[in-house]
Structure 1
Amino acid sequence: MGAWELLLVGVVIVLGLCGVLVPGVPGSWLVWAAVLWWALTDPRALTWGVLVGATVVLVLAQAIRWGLPPRRLREAGATPRMGVYAGVGALLGFILLPVVGAVPGFLGGIYLHERTRLGGHGPAKAAVGTVMRSGGWNVLTELFACLLVTAAWLATVICG
C-alpha cells in the first residue's frame, strides 16, 4: 500500500474519530471501514489480525453501549464545543498516558469546558456528573474503542 493510500485511510479514521462526537454520524463504522479498506489492499496476516481485533473491540463496545442509558446529552446541556473539549481531552490523555489516559482526559475536557462556562468548581463538577449520566458514558465507550483501533492500526503501519 502506498503512502497516499495510507494517508487516505488515516483521514477516514480521523473523520471517524470526529464522527463519534457528532450525533448521527457513524464514527465507529467509519473507523472500521477504513481498517477494512487497509486490510483488503494490504493482505498480510498482521493486517487481517488488526482487522479481526478491531471488529472484536468495536462489537464489544456496541454491546457495552446497549447496556448504558440512551444519549440525552442535549437535555443535559451538552454543546458541540463541549464535545470538542471532551474529544481533545480524550486524545491527549490517550497519548500522554497510553490507553487508560483517555478516560480522565475525556472527563477533564468536559470539566474544563464547564469550569470556564460556569466559573466554579462545584457547578462544573455537578455538570460533569449530569453529562456523564445523560449519555456521556456512551460517547466515551465508543470513542475509547475507536482510539484503541486507531492505535493498533497506527502501530502496525509504523512498526509492522
Structure 2
Amino acid sequence: MTLTNVLVGAAIAIGLVGIVVPVLPGSLLVGGAVLAWAIVHDAPAAWVVFAVAATFLVAGTVVKFLVPGRRLQTAGVPSSTLWFGAALGIVGFFVVPVVGLFLGFPLGVYLAEYRRLGPERAWPATKGALRAVGLSILIELVAAVLAALTWGVGLVLV
C-alpha cells in the first residue's frame, strides 16, 4: 500500500466524518481525495473510478437539497427559518465549540417558528426541520460512502 493510498483513504475518512459532524466540507473532501488519487495513478481505470465517484457525489448533492427542501415546503417551514437556525448554529459553534452547532440550529429554528406561529406550533415545525436536516445528512453520507466504495474497488483494479 502506497503513501498516496493511505493519505487518500485518510482524507476520505475525514470527509465522511465531516458530513456527519458538519465542520468540514465532507463531499468536497471525498471528491478531492479521489481526484488526487486519479491524478497520481493517471490510468484510464482511475479516471473511470473518479468519474463514477464524482457522479455519486454530484447526484447526492442535488438530491440532498431537493428531497428535504420539498418536505419542508410541504410542512410549511419557510427557508428564512432555516437561515435563522443556521445563523444561530454558527454563533453557537463559536460560543460552545462543536456542540454549539447542534444546540444553536434547533434553538434558532424554534425561535423563528415561535415568533411566526406561536408556541403550540413551533415545536412540530422545529421537529420537521430537524428531520429534514437529518435526511439531508443521510443522503449526502450515502452518496459519499458510495464514492468511497467506488474508490475501494478502484484500489483493487488499478
Percent identity, aligned pairs only, is 29
1:159/1:48 Cα in 2 relative to 1: closer, same or farther (>3 Å)? closer
Aligned AA (2:137): V
For structure 2, the residue ranges without an aligned partner over 5 or more in a row are 70-78, 90-97, 103-126
Q: Map Cα deviations across residues 9-58 of structure 1 (whole Å, 9 max, x no partner).
A: 11111110110012242000000000000000101111100111111111
Question: Offset of 1:131 from its aligned partner?
Answer: 7.8
Counterpart in the other structure of 1:153: 151
- Does residue 19 of structure 1 match 2:18? yes
Question: Offset of 1:144 from its aligned partner?
Answer: 0.3
CA RMSD of aligned residues (A): 2.8
For structure 1, the residue ranges without an aligned partner over 5 or more in a row are 84-128
* DSSP-derived class of the 1:133 partner: helix
Partner Cα separation in structure 2 for residue 159 and residue 131 of structure 1: 42
Q: How does 1:49-128 map to 2 (within 5 A)?
A: 49-67=48-66, 68-69=68-69
Partner Cα separation in structure 2 for residue 52 and residue 155 of structure 1: 13
Aligned AA (2:147): V
Q: How does 1:30-49 map to 2 (within 5 A)?
A: 30-49=29-48
Partner Cα separation in structure 1 for residue 41 and residue 17 of structure 2: 25
Aligned AA (1:8): L
Aligned AA (1:16): G
Partner Cα separation in structure 1 for residue 60 and residue 136 of structure 2: 9
Question: Offset of 1:134 from its aligned partner?
Answer: 3.9
Counterpart in the other structure of 1:136: 134
Question: Offset of 1:132 from its aligned partner?
Answer: 6.0
TM-score, structure 2 as length reference: 0.60
Q: Map Cα deviations across residues 105-132 of structure 1 (whole Å, 9 max, x no partner).
A: xxxxxxxxxxxxxxxxxxxxxxxx8686
Aligned AA (1:140): L
Question: Offset of 1:158 from its aligned partner?
Answer: 2.5
For the 8 Å contact 2:16–2:141, the answer to whether it is kept is: yes
* DSSP-derived class of the 1:23 partner: coil
Task: Decide which structure has the larger Cα Rg and report it.
Answer: 2
